Structures are given as C-alpha cells and as structure tokens.
Structure 1
Amino acid sequence: MNIIISGLGIIGGSFAKALAKYTDHHIIGINRSEKPLQDALACGAIHEIGTRESIKTADMIILGTFPEAAVKFVRDNADIIQKSCIVTDTSGIKGQICPELVQLSKEYGFKFIGGHPMAGKETNGFASSDADLFQNASYIIVPCGADEKDISFISTLMKKIGFGIIKVATPEEHDRMIAYTSQLPHVIACAYVLNESCANHKGFSAGSYRDVSRVARINVPLWTELFSENKNSLVSELDEFIENMTSIRNAVAEGNNDAVAELLSRARDVKERTDG
C-alpha cells in the first residue's frame, strides 16, 4: 500500500524509517523543507518524494506535523484524498483537532483515526529519527467513531513496527492523561532548571538532576502549542501538583519531620503500587 508521511521530523521520520525497515509498504514523504526529504530518500526511509498528485494515490496518510499544521494539511487536501484512505495523526492533543478532522472525514468520505505514539527524544528533526524509536513503546488509538476493522488495521501495523502496548481512548481521556504523563513532566523540568542553582550544578549533580531536567531541552514552538491547546487539563494537573509541593514545602519549613515522613511514605507507596 502507499503510505504518505507528512512531516519528516523525529516522529514522522521515525515512522518512515520503521515502515521501510519492518514492512513492504511504499513510503512517500512530504515535508515543508527539502533537506529532510533528500536525506530520507538517500537513507531509504522513503521511496518517493510526494506531491499533491501523490496524495490521490495514498491508502494511508500519517500526519507527523504539529497539531494545527496537521489539520491544515488535511483541510487543504481533503478533496483529493481517496474515500478508502485512512488518515491518522501523531499529535499530543486530541480535543482540539479531532472534531475538525472527523468533520472533514465525514464531508469528504475518507477515514480518520486519531493516533499518538508515546515515544520521542529530547532532540528534534529528521537527523534524530530512528527506525527503532517505537520498540516496546505505547501507541494510543483514538477511534473517533471509526470502524473496528480500520482500528484493527492500525493496531496491527503499529505492532509490526515495534509498539508493545496499544491503548484505546476517547479524546477527553487522552488529553486528561497526557496532561499528567507528558505535559506536566515537561513543565516540571522547565521550572526546575529555571532555579538559579542550575547554572552551578556541574560537579554537584548526578542521576537525579539528569532525570528531572532531561526534557527541559524542549521544542519551544511545539510544546507552547500543546500546552495552549490542552490548557484546562494541564492547569488542573498543575494545581494538584502545586498543592502537593506546597504540603511538602510547608512541612519542611515548619520542621515537622513526622509530616515530611508521612508525605514521603505516601509517595513511595503510590509509586510501588503503581509501577512495582
């Protein structure tokens, strides 16, 4: 089948490389700038550089761009997408984009299924993409009313390129949980390195600093958009986090060791119950 990947950054590029490595599908790349396309063609991640004419032949389209750009790509090309084509995104938010993409799919007859690969790195661009980025990672399917056979097709394809866990969620559940598991940690990392002590950490830091600060090397335009488009869920998680931080801060400030120990014990118990 012909699979078009729109956007050859780290995620779109990794999809191209994984599909080329683990399947026999014909991979067509579309990208705003030329260099990632040439690099992808040279390394075998794509078999063809796509044009608007290529879209007419697509059996599947994977949107590897920022959320708003993904919607724009579909809006601009909806009239030439085959009715049998499955369109799926890779965006970290769903509530803001799924309604319009579902509406476009109904209006023009193609199929839309939301998707979110739970994988990435702190670096960006095609040069950071990896055919094995998705090995044993989780893939979230947001069906948006799609047929079971199309959902099954997506699930099977994602397992073929390495995903170990397939999770199905509504847009609302997806955005609520991603606010906690992905967006909140990025906020924490950024806030952490904004402390003045960060400038002098070398020689005083080890694994704890590295683990907490890793994702502060952030793609600013992307995460600004993600935070903005999921602001209600993210602010709710931030409020609860600040409340928990304040409880620990006040117990430390008051010299209340029993309260500190009780809060730390509760946290350890939650972690052990949740993750073993």
Structure 2
Amino acid sequence: MNILVVGLGLIGGSLCKALKKYTYHTVTGCDLNHDIENAALRDVALDNVFDGSFEGYDLIIIALFPQGSEMFFKENAPKISKNTLITDVCGIKGEFSDRMKAIAEANGLRYVGIHPMAGKEFGGYYNSTADLFVKANFIIAPFEDSDEKDTELLKNVATEIGAGKIVVTSPENHDKMIAYTSQLAHIVSSAYVKSPELGLECGFSGGSFQDMTRIATMNEKMWTDLFMQNRENLQYELDTLIANLNKYSEALKSGDKDKMKALIAEGRELKEENLRHRVGQPN
C-alpha cells in the first residue's frame, strides 16, 4: 500500500519505523517540524516526505492529538483521493469517531479508528522505535455499517507491525473500557506524585513506586483533551475508585485489622481471577 502518516511524534514516528522495518508498504511522512521529517528520512523511517498532494494514498494514518486530528481532517478531506481509508490513533473514539466519520462520508472517504495500546513515559519522534507495537494490544473501532474489508486491512497492518492481541469493538465500548484501563491510571499516577514526600523518595523506592509514577509525566494538553472527551465514563471510574479507597481509609482510622485484611484479600482474589482469565484468552 501507499501510506501517509500525519504527525511524527512517538506513535506516528514508531508507526513509520515499524512499517519500514516489517513491511513492504511505501511510507510517506508529514510533520509541521521539517527537521523531524528530515530526521525520519535519515533514519530510513520514510520513503518520502509529504509534498502537499493527498492523491494516491491507500491509507492515511492521522497521528495527532484528538483536536488536531479532527481539525486536520476537516481542513484537508476535500483534497484526499476519493475512497481512501482514513484512520487515527487517538485514545478516544465515541463522539470523536462520529465526527470523523461524518467528515469522511461528506467527502467520499472511509473512516475507521484504531488505538494501538503502546507508549512510553516520554513522547516525541526521538523516543520512537520500530518495536513499540510488538506484542502490544491493538484496538480497532469500526461502526456497525463499516466495510469489513477496512477492518481486515487494519488488522493486517496491526499484525504486520507485531501487535499481540487485536480487539475489534465499537467506538462507544472502546471509551468505556479505556476510561478504566488507561485514563483512570493516568489520573491516579498524577495525583500520587503530589505527596510532599516525593522529593525524599530517593533510596526508599522500588518497583511499586516506579510503576505508580511512570505515567505522571504525561502530556497535559493531550490527556486533558482525552479526559474531557470521555468525562462521563472517566467520572464513573474515578467515583468507583474513591469509594473503594474510602473503605481502606475507614479501616485504618478505626484500627480494624480484620476489615483491612478482608479488603486486601478481596483485591488479591479479584486480580488472581483476572490473571486466570487472561491466561485463557487467545492472542
């Protein structure tokens, strides 16, 4: 295929590198920072730098923040070859995907969103890698009336770049689940590092501290956009977490060892059951 990747940050840059390493597709890249485009050419992450023409692409992958993705697509959709498949890598779907689909259909294009569940603490092209998606979960979020061929095409791309479990779900279910598995974790990490003890942790921290604080370095502009576009699902998960945390707090305040032991056991049993379920799931 002839593929255009718009935005050469961590995900976009990694997609280019993965496509060049693992496939025979022709990859063109586009970024506002021309130094990044030139770096990608030097890294052989691209075959070509975007020349301003949207003609002749089989697949266009928009790898920008949600607001930027929608703006870019709305501005440029009339210039894109008819019947081109458009996708985005945003961590939000739902109403965002509805708007992207409307733009696509108004311009004779096809749209199906994806969400590679891969990332790092730090973004940007210079942190990108060809192996970022290897064994990573990969979500495809078509609509009920999407062409199955488009879903299969995106499945093939995911497989080619090394994705592990590929999940096909609705845009609405994507947002419901991501509120719990991703967005809530980012809020918890951001809140966790606000303890006054943070500056004194050196020499006292281990793997649990690193796990809890790793994603606190998230980009505030992008994640605010993601949180606000999924606020109802995220609010539900945050309220559920706070209610559960209050149970532990009450056990501490009352010195109730039996209650604390029961709460910990309940959490352990739930996670053990979750692990057993994951082991039985096919990739």
Q: TM-score range by the shorter chain?
A: over 0.9
1:52 Cα offset (Å): 2.5
- The letter of the residue matching 2:114 is G
- 2:218 and 2:50 map into 1 onto residues whose CA distance is 29
The match for 2:255 is 255
Give structure 1 regions of 4+ aligned residues with deviation exceeding 3 angstroms.
none
Q: Give the alignment's Cα RMSD to 1 decimal.
A: 0.9
- 1:117 and 1:80 map into 2 onto residues whose CA distance is 27
The match for 1:30 is 30
What do residues 19-55 of structure 1 show as CA deviations (whole Å, max 9, x unaligned)?
Answer: 01111111111111112111101101011110321x1
- 1:96 and 1:227 map into 2 onto residues whose CA distance is 13
What do residues 138-159 of structure 1 show as CA deviations (whole Å, max 9, x unaligned)?
Answer: 1100112321111111101110
The match for 1:243 is 243
- 1:149 and 1:204 map into 2 onto residues whose CA distance is 53
What does 1:130-169 align with in structure 2 at a 5 Å threshold?
130-144=129-143, 145-169=145-169
- 1:82 and 1:34 map into 2 onto residues whose CA distance is 24
State, as a whole percentage, how many aligned pairs show the same letter: 39
What does 1:1-276 align with in structure 2 at a 5 Å threshold?
1-53=1-53, 55-144=54-143, 145-276=145-276
- The letter of the residue matching 1:205 is S
Question: Secondary structure of the residue that 1:167 maps to in structure 2?
Answer: strand
TM-score by length of 2: 0.95
What residue ranges of structure 2 are gaps of 5+ in the alignment?
277-283
- 1:48 and 1:36 map into 2 onto residues whose CA distance is 13
Give the conservation status (yes or no) of the 8 Å contact 1:68–1:97: no
What residue ranges of structure 1 are gaps of 5+ in the alignment?
none
- 1:96 and 1:9 map into 2 onto residues whose CA distance is 24
- 2:203 and 2:246 map into 1 onto residues whose CA distance is 29
1:221 Cα offset (Å): 1.0
More deviation in 76-85 or 128-137? Answer: 76-85
Question: Secondary structure of the residue that 2:212 maps to in structure 1?
Answer: helix
- 1:205 and 1:99 map into 2 onto residues whose CA distance is 44
Question: Secondary structure of the residue that 2:94 maps to in structure 1?
Answer: coil
1:220 Cα offset (Å): 1.4
- The letter of the residue matching 1:233 is N
Name the count of aligned residue pairs: 275
Question: Secondary structure of the residue that 1:52 maps to in structure 2?
Answer: coil
- The letter of the residue matching 2:274 is T
Give the conservation status (yes or no) of the 8 Å contact 1:20–1:45: yes
- 1:153 and 1:226 map into 2 onto residues whose CA distance is 26
TM-score by length of 1: 0.97
What do residues 99-153 of structure 1 show as CA deviations (whole Å, max 9, x unaligned)?
Answer: 1111112111111011000000001100010100000111100112321111111
- 1:12 and 1:6 map into 2 onto residues whose CA distance is 7
